[in-house]
Structure 1
């Protein structure tokens, strides 16, 4: 069947839903059309920009009938910057959209006929200035140095000095580096020609401690005015505890290189979630919203139902953040992570907190966990916190073979959560409840904690 639209057509459309990226979705003569910035319930006029076999993309030209939830974005560059997708929506509606995204994923991808209990999203009291990490690219435009976030779907930098979802200290640090680079002629990176010095500035701020780390990512070892940079940034940023040069001379979209050079201060900063202190290095994984991280981890603890007697396995444990947070309620915590540097961070975090009843191992979980089983280790609770792509089926089979009483799945992608929940359901695990948590207000992303348990037949197949 030939699509009823072609590129350049101008159409009128009623928006009936939101996509997982936050775009408005509607039907034109039965054909699906995605339109950024459009909201459910709106009547709009749009220009078709791309046509595929089963859907099209459009650009909104006019709102004919606005939705009651539409609001004025707080950020002046919202429509150009790719950092946020939902600033034009009331926060209450953002939470409704995100919950619906989770429900839709379980129905369409998970194949649930009876709806999985998906609780209302836990939002923030103040959904602004929540990010503890900024990664800001530097570049040239019209011969002038610019720094900001990329426009959606491009590597075009939207120049800006403040971001409403960043901690103010992060913004200040980026502004100071930008000012000094302009004054002293430190060249920004040109990714087309692989020339220039300053690629990115990364800033990490500890919400509980106030400690700040500034990382200057450079295209090679050369850093002009290095000593002057140290002096001036120390004056301008009194909370800065660590100033690092990260060397990345590869042609790559990966932000950080493998080598760090400490320019001043300590090589790490510290932050706390609840009563647990975590050490953070330039490459450490640490949730970017510490306020909601505590909410998320408390939900993991609630679903784990710890009494102090349980053996807990933390899979994809990273720097041990979840496992250490649960340790005071467990008899022992085992963590496994494929990135060796993250495991070193986890061990160091355990040490500085005086937590001794933990074991962290570097390796693939599907290889490490069977060895633990051979050693007679039987987990009562397994927690998995995979990347966006979700869990490998081999890992899920390994989890099932460990026969835990409870499985807690932490997910940053409802689609892969629903896919993996379906796989686990076919192997005897039922999803009891899902609690979404808004870790990233004003974006289309939503984090989930899912509580799963074996049901029906026992895992060995007996009644």
Structure 2
């Protein structure tokens, strides 16, 4: 992949830009195998799952800078000034097509972009998610309730400029912090969930919901977990860190009980809507709000699925899983260091199959899924 922004040193986020994609994938797969060699001896590695090397991102997190009437959408340079990246080649075409209409709207509204060095202005970030059906979730991160009112009044104009905007929200982040969003989310549209159709399963994303950035590779990740489950035929599945139900809803099946745990109540509500919409609702599929590191579901599970954040499971949950009576475990990880540390802390488990998933071409990041059984 070639990128004018990278070549001009305007953005250097993609550390592997210019490296042939095949070489990127082989290096990542080798690094995954090497990182787990000591805790996954004898594991069968499936070929890495890849998608396109460009136009793969389904979500844009854009810093808004510049000035009123002439905003920039992209990142900040070392001096805290805006670098416009609306022509970045990483975004899905349907997502990139939203940038210019939204740029014109923001310019016409005259909302002052936030000036980080000067600590003044109002519009901080624009976050847009694109669904496989071409619909969008659009979030404006602003500093003041006054801008929320401006955006609410401008909703008809936004809908006219971007008819695909199914969900529109305003997030309030008043403090001068190096974070993406604040605690207050105001939904401006009648609908608050964006459907994400992945083959025969539809997920629902709320404004704060996590979903993998690469739709095609995420579909492959869920398909791999489903294939492992089909070979094992579990009757009870427990899914910790279930999010909006990506793994749980793909593993739902007749006569199978699936229970997911997630700390975010918004995500639990979205997962529950997914269960209802996919026809796999209670009592076959249930989602519980709680801290996955401390919640202990009642009853035994034949298969446990974990998909923790970068920090991993932590010693308490790893110890509990090591002592549990579950027969099989699927561990999906975005960080090889915490994955290796957690596997080392669960010596009663043996890794039998693994696969690398290249969610983030042009970078060193990757997702790794491991199937484990009892020793």
Q: Same fold (TM over 0.5)?
A: yes
TM superposition score normalised by structure 2: 0.90
Q: In structure 2, how many angstroms separate the alpha carbons of the residues matched to 1:331 and 1:254?
A: 40
1:273 and 2:193 aligned: no
Compute the displacement of 1:77 (Å).
0.8
Give the counterpart of 2:46 among 115, 119, 122. Answer: 119
Contact 2:239 2:261 survives alignment (8 Å): yes
8 Å contact kept, 1:147–1:159 = yes
Alpha carbons 2:50, 2:358 under 8 Å: kept: yes
- Correspondence for 2:17 among 59, 72, 87: 87
Higher radius of gyration, 1 or 2? 1
Q: CA deviation at 1:82?
A: 4.3
Distance 1:280 1:230 in 2: 20
* Change beyond 3 A, Cα 1:318–1:159: same
Q: Is the alpha carbon distance of 1:150 and 1:415 closer, same or farther for their aligned partners in structure 2, counting shifts above 3 Å? A: farther
Which structure would you say has the larger RCO, counting Cα contacts within 8 Å and 6 or more residues apart? 2
SS in 1 for 2:179: coil
Does residue 406 (structure 1) correspond to residue 328 (structure 2)? The answer is yes
- Please give the per-residue CA displacement for 1:179-230, whole angstroms capped at 9, x wherever unaligned: 33334432101234432111111111111x2211211111111227546743
Number of residue pairs the alignment of both structures matches: 370
Q: Answer yes or no: is the 8 Å Cα contact 1:434–1:448 preserved in 2.
A: yes
In structure 1, the partner of 2:360 is: 440
Q: What does residue 55 of structure 1 align with?
A: none
2:238 equivalent in structure 1 = 313
Q: Distance in 2 between matches of 1:326 and 1:346?
A: 13
Shift of 1:436: 0.3
2:251 counterpart SS class: helix
- Partners of 1:397 and 1:240 in 2: how far apart? 45
Deviation at 1:405, TM superposition (A): 1.2
8 Å CA contact 2:80–2:116 kept in 1: the answer is: no
- What is the CA-CA distance between 1:100 and the residue it aligns to? 1.8
* Separation of aligned partners in 2, 1:82 and 1:330: 50
Q: Which residue of 1 aligns with 2:169?
A: 244
Q: 1:103, CA displacement in angstroms?
A: 2.2
Question: Aligned-pair RMSD on alpha carbons?
Answer: 2.5
In structure 1, stretches of 5+ residues that fail to align are 1-72, 456-463
Q: Determine the C-alpha separation between the residues in 2 that align with 1:337 and 1:261.
A: 22
Distance 2:123 2:111 in 1: 7
1:132 equivalent to 2:52? Answer no
Residue 367 of structure 1 is matched in structure 2 by: 294
Describe the shift of the 1:340–1:234 C-alpha distance in structure 2 as closer, same or farther (beyond 3 A).
Answer: closer
